[in-house]
Copies of this chain bind each other. A is one copy, B any other.
Amino acid sequence: MKANAERIEGGVLAAKGFSAGAAYCGLKTASDALDIAVLVSDRPAAASAVYSQNQVVGAPIIVDRHRLPSAGIRGLVVNSGNANDCTGESGVRNAERMCSLAAGQFNVPEETFVVSSTGIIGVPLPMAKIRRGIKMACEAIGKSREHEDAFARAIMTTDTRTKQYAVKLKLGGAEVYIGGAAKGSGMIAPNMATMLCYVTTDADLCLSDLSKMVRRVADRSFNCITVEGHTSPSDTLLVMANGASGVKVRGKELVSFESALEEVCVDLSKQMVGDGEGATKLVTVNVTGTHTDALAKTVAMAIANSPLVKTAIHGGDPNWGRIVTAAGNVGVPFEDVDVELLISGVKAFSRGRPLTRNEARLAERMKLSEIVLDLRIGKGPGKATVWTCDFSREYITINADYHT
């Protein structure tokens, strides 16, 4: 799958023809923070996005859904510190205004810009600050590593570190670049720490190929991670392909490109989970043996979202009982005698019984910072992998002790 793609340094500016700028306009409290950014293509790009499935969506998504997919997108404007969500009609007008302000700086039509916001909800955007911020971000624009780092920092809320990943791959003898930046998946009151991910590429893709690919890749990456099973109203994955490499990706090469795009999105997904609120361990849950992949994913998600499993992992307890009963809790039928569970490669449960002789080795494995659960619950062909993190006291502190 990954044969063609080689990981390189970088993020949203790895691909040719993109530039970015960021600024501080007073939406966050720390004055050394960045809270507004633009990401611009020097030519029209094919762009497609997938959004939060929550019934409640933020104003930016209401606006973007009208503009995407599109073959003529020129840029994105994004702010952190205020999600512009649950802000009514005027919130939608403010989101549109952000696009027109940014587009105005580059003398392009306002419909060629899309918008994201993340942060506190239910509070109107302070548009005077936003206006000044967009101007400053556009003035600060550039193409260096420093500029892409600034973009990655400006979209952060409760994240403790930036999340970036880029690859280059050879397609038809030429080089194509794909890179992205993302922000975290925990939610924090009154902020909703939305999951945002922006991926750019200089490949030339048909809009319809890109749109289908983005949906499939999202299902195999961002839709396979969970911190607490709660999607925010602003979750967005946006992919822009501007064709600046001159490489047309068509036919069979779409498969290679898609696997490279998946590599970028999976890595950014795992970075998100690894930086979940209070997280100390990255947990991979592999489920096999169900009738269908969908059933395997249902079981894997039930394990990944179980507070009992997540607290046990935090405490270093190889608690096979919680894992097996979390699997048994979602209506997917199995017999406990058909169950086999490995924890980071060591057998913990088999044929309806725990393997008590492995207890010491299991306890050792639980000390690792990455835990892998392999659960087989039958003989069917279904399989799924999801990623999550542990549940710590710090998670409660972050989420309980914030007061509005």
Binding site for B on A (CB under 8 A): 53-56, 85-88, 121-122, 187, 189-190, 192, 228-233, 306-308, 311-312, 314-322, 324-329, 331-336, 339, 349, 351-354, 356, 359, 363, 391-393, 395-397, 399-404
Contact = CB atoms under 8 A, between A and B. Distances in A.
- A189, A395, A396: residue with the most chain B Cβ atoms closer than 10 Å: A396
Given A86-B336, A121-B321, A230-B306, A393 B397 contact: yes
A296 to B, nearest CB: 14
B230 A399 contact: no
A243 to B, nearest CB: 37
Given A321-B122, A353-B88, A312 B54 contact: no
A388 to B, nearest CB: 12
Contacts of A312: 189, 399-400
Contacts of A333: 55
A107 to B, nearest CB: 35
A232 B325 CA distance: 7
Contact of A393 (B54, B308, B319, B393): B393
B190 A228 contact: no
A331 B53 contact: yes
Nearest to A331: B53
A325 B402 contact: no
A339 B54 CA distance: 14
A325 B230 contact: yes
B396 A396 contact: yes
Contacts of A332: 55
The 6 A-B pairs at the shortest CB distance, nearest first, are namely A315-B400, A55-B328, A311-B399, A122-B354, A311-B400, A54-B328
Given A86-B336, A233-B328, A312-B189, A403 B56 contact: no
A225 to B, nearest CB: 15
A393 to B, nearest CB: 5
A346 B356 CA distance: 53
A54 B404 contact: no
17 contacts: A54-B325, A54-B328, A55-B328, A55-B336, A56-B325, A86-B354, A122-B354, A189-B312, A189-B321, A190-B321, A228-B307, A230-B329, A233-B325, A315-B401, A319-B404, A391-B396, A392-B400
A210 to B, nearest CB: 27
A187 B322 contact: yes
A311 B87 CA distance: 24
- A87, A121, A326, A328: residue with the most chain B Cβ atoms closer than 10 Å: A328
Contact of A56 (B319, B328, B396): B328
Given A53-B331, A189-B321, A329-B231, A400 B391 contact: yes
A352 B55 CA distance: 12
A325 B319 CA distance: 31
Given A395-B396, A399-B312, A319 B192 contact: no
Nearest to A309: B230
Contacts of A334: 55
Contact of A228 (B85, B122, B308): B308
- A321, A336, A356: residue with the most chain B Cβ atoms closer than 10 Å: A321
Contacts of A316: 403
A324 to B, nearest CB: 6
Contacts of A322: 187, 189, 230
Given A320-B122, A400-B315, A400-B392, A325 B192 contact: yes
